[in-house]
A = this chain, B = another copy of it.
Amino acid sequence: MFNIIALENGLENVQGFYCGATNVGMRPDQTQGDVAFIRSDVPCDISAVFTSNTFQAAPIKHFQKYPKDFQTDFVLINAKNANAMTGEKGVEDIETILSVLASKQKVLNPLMSSTGVIGYRLPIEKVTSAFDTLDFHSKNSEETARAIMTTDSFKKELSYKVELEDGTSFTIAAICKGAGMINPAMATMLCFITTDADIPKADMDALLTDATEHSFNRISVDGDTSTNDTVMLLANKSSGHYNKEAFAEVLNKLMFELAMMILRDGEGANKLVAFEVKGATTLEEAKTASMALSNSLLVKTALFGEDPNWGRIASTIGASGIACDEKRLTIHYDDLLIYSDTFRELDKAREAKAYAIMKKESFKVTCDIGLGKASYISYGCDLSYEYVKINAEYRT
């Protein structure tokens, strides 16, 4: 038995962690930071999950140069420049920046993480100028969360306290960014999770992988997978307390909620839709069909148009290549049966109900393939004019 209590704000709730941000001139809006840090006063164990994109950005390559199971106490984060497709120079730039950091602040195996435009070298002097203005003893989670935003329209931070049965407790918190280029197999997103739980390293790796699979890997804004996606879990063990079941639950809850925040902030998106495919022959097939629905342009534009056009849902299932049979298939919008073999055309009353569901900010589409027992759920959003505008004008 344990209680999970939501806390106000974010990273500042976790013992021994510090964070803050500054603007070094990479982001034109001076009121928002572009370089941020997260620091622990004792070394942390670290688990990380990175993008499946073959062209991993320089910060990910730099991370991988450390020995297995290394500890760290510092993560430097910048916006506006992804430091991706920058080759060996990109990794060297990180080493240069972090050596300047080390000359000003005692750090253990410092890390870097970046988001922004692909294909440009980091402006080293600008980035290192941050070390003159950052206060390494600040605890300003909001400022940090805002500094890592790109096309995000709101900051994303969450924090929970877990009270265990024996009266002890630990905390966990996270900041996260992401709004576009979001696809299963990770979004263009960065997520930094800090905890003072006394969690063993082996549990960190297993629980982070599992929670990623159930959260960030199930959302899609546009079917693209970035070069920089990163989820990091930093554990400094400062509370001295831990319970695996409780930690798994709070980590899943935290990461799922962050994933839904990203989806709600999907570029130009107005609706959050869960696509459940059940009754599939295999889990792989359920996943394939569910992801096909989340990613279909025709489904996404029908959502934007609030058109209960189930034909596009059915066609997408059929085009996904999974085993299916139109006589076995059923489609529901929330609890409303909208297609089955014996019920193909909508009467007026049902069509009115379907239109009402389509107008909701959030609803569920359930496709029962009717052939097996495997199911999978993914989460998508609509595609609006605004998405096109944001992505056509991204660099300008």
User: Footprint of B on A, CB under 8 Å?
Assistant: 52-56, 82, 84-87, 89, 117-121, 180-181, 183, 185, 222-227, 295-298, 301-302, 304-305, 307, 309-312, 314-319, 321-324, 326-327, 339, 341, 344-345, 383-385, 387-389, 391-396
In the assembled complex, the Cα of A389 lies from the Cα of B386 at a distance in Å of: 11
Inter-chain contact B85/A227, CB cutoff 8 Å: no
In the assembled complex, the Cα of A120 lies from the Cα of B119 at a distance in Å of: 49
Decide yes or no: A224 and B315 within 8 Å by CB, A298-B181, A326-B55, A344-B86 being known contacts.
yes
**Shortest distance from the beta carbon of A384 to any chain B beta carbon, whole Å:** 6
**Shortest distance from the beta carbon of A211 to any chain B beta carbon, whole Å:** 22
Inter-chain contact A119/B392, CB cutoff 8 Å: no
- Which residues of chain B are near A85, meaning CB under 8 Å? 311, 314-315, 326, 339, 344
**Sampled A-B contacts (12; CB under 8 Å):** A54-B321, A55-B317, A55-B324, A119-B344, A119-B345, A185-B319, A225-B315, A227-B318, A301-B392, A384-B388, A385-B385, A385-B389
Inter-chain contact B87/A298, CB cutoff 8 Å: no
Inter-chain contact A315/B55, CB cutoff 8 Å: yes
- Which residues of chain B are near A339, meaning CB under 8 Å? 85, 119
**Shortest distance from the beta carbon of A312 to any chain B beta carbon, whole Å:** 7
Q: Is the interface of A mostly helix, strand, loop or mixed?
A: loop
Inter-chain contact A392/B52, CB cutoff 8 Å: no
Chain B: CB-nearest residue to A390: B301
Inter-chain contact A314/B119, CB cutoff 8 Å: yes
In the assembled complex, the Cα of A53 lies from the Cα of B173 at a distance in Å of: 45
In the assembled complex, the Cα of A323 lies from the Cα of B55 at a distance in Å of: 10
**Shortest distance from the beta carbon of A48 to any chain B beta carbon, whole Å:** 18
Inter-chain contact B224/A296, CB cutoff 8 Å: yes
**Shortest distance from the beta carbon of A134 to any chain B beta carbon, whole Å:** 28
Inter-chain contact A318/B53, CB cutoff 8 Å: yes
Inter-chain contact A394/B307, CB cutoff 8 Å: yes
Inter-chain contact A391/B298, CB cutoff 8 Å: yes
Inter-chain contact B312/A118, CB cutoff 8 Å: yes
Inter-chain contact A297/B385, CB cutoff 8 Å: no
Chain B: CB-nearest residue to A298: B224
Inter-chain contact B118/A55, CB cutoff 8 Å: no
Decide yes or no: A388 and B391 within 8 Å by CB, A226-B315, A297-B222 being known contacts.
no
In the assembled complex, the Cα of A344 lies from the Cα of B87 at a distance in Å of: 8
